[in-house]
């Protein structure tokens, strides 16, 4: 065999050896990367589970008096101001089909406030953009049209990234259990939600304006009423707690 043939075979052998070495290195790197990813995800999952558990425990331990709301003047208001009272917390709107509920809410408030009852009104513009006004405009509208006299706070979000911590807690205490079957607006709302998000029934999110949470004198959420529930049923539940 000529020297050229020997050199050619030697070169091919060296090339195969180098390719094999590179392949081995790549496999080792990939294996290490997979092991690293597995360890990272395992730690993340564990820490995530721990965080979720801690959040659940902390949420369960809280009471309504642990939270704050922002007044229309921008000042923080502690809900401990209403410690020992029965509270009805409502997300409201000024241009909604349920807005006339302000009349019944005000009547309920006048009837029961001297017995230790309070309504906390939180305007919200997340549902159909039906509360477009400023805080002052909302208050003026409610007072002039419905004569409302219960506390009204700054317009705020009750769902999503910027939701009030109070609402995170409220929803964790009482999830969505369905609209009132006898209300004529229920089929309309259900059809609208079914078309937008078929899984909407499984979430605890606030579904629409005038959802109400009833809180007892000990600061615990005892009931949730959707806007379709009759106010007579809400009032009866309030009276049982007074």
Catalytic residues: 96
* pTM assigned to the model: 0.75
Q: Are 139 and 105 in contact (CB under 8 A)?
A: no
pLDDT-based confidence at residue 33 (cuts at 50, 70, 90): very low
Report d(CA 137, CA 154) in Å as an integer: 11
What is the mean predicted confidence (pLDDT) over 13-21? Answer: 54
| Cα–Cα distance, 236 to 107 (Å, whole number) | 13
Give residue 62's pLDDT band: very low, low, confident or very high (50, 70, 90): confident
Fold of 64-241: Glutaredoxin (3.40.30)
Residue 29 has a pLDDT of 30
Mean pLDDT of the chain, nearest integer: 83
Query: What number of other Cβ atoms are within 10 A of residue 11's Cβ?
Result: 10
Domain ranges of the chain: 1-61, 64-241
């Amino acid at each position: 065999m000529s020297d050229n043939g020997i050199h050619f075979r030697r070169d091919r052998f060296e090339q195969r050896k180098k390719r094999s070495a590179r392949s081995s290195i790549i496999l080792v790197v990939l294996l290490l990367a997979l092991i690293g990813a597995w360890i990272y995800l395992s730690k993340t999952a564990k820490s995530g589970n721990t965080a979720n558990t801690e959040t659940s425990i902390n949420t369960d331990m809280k009471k309504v008096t642990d939270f704050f709301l922002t007044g229309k003047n921008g000042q923080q208001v502690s809900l401990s101001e209403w410690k020992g009272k029965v509270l009805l917390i409502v997300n409201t709107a000024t241009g909604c089909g349920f807005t006339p509920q302000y009349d019944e809410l005000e009547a309920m408030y006048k009837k029961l406030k001297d017995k230790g009852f309070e309504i906390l009104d939180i305007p919200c513009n997340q549902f159909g953009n039906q509360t477009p006004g400023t805080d002052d405009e909302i208050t003026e509208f409610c007072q002039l049209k419905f004569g409302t006299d219960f506390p009204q706070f700054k317009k705020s979000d009750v769902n999503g990234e910027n939701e009030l911590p109070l609402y995170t807690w409220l929803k964790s205490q009482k999830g969505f259990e369905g609209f009132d079957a006898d209300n004529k607006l229920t089929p309309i709302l259900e059809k609208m939600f079914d078309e937008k998000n078929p899984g909407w029934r499984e979430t605890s999110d606030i579904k629409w304006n005038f959802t109400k949470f009833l809180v007892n004198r000990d600061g615990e959420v005892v009931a949730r009423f959707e806007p379709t529930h009759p106010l007579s049923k809400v009032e009866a539940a309030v009276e049982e707690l007074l």
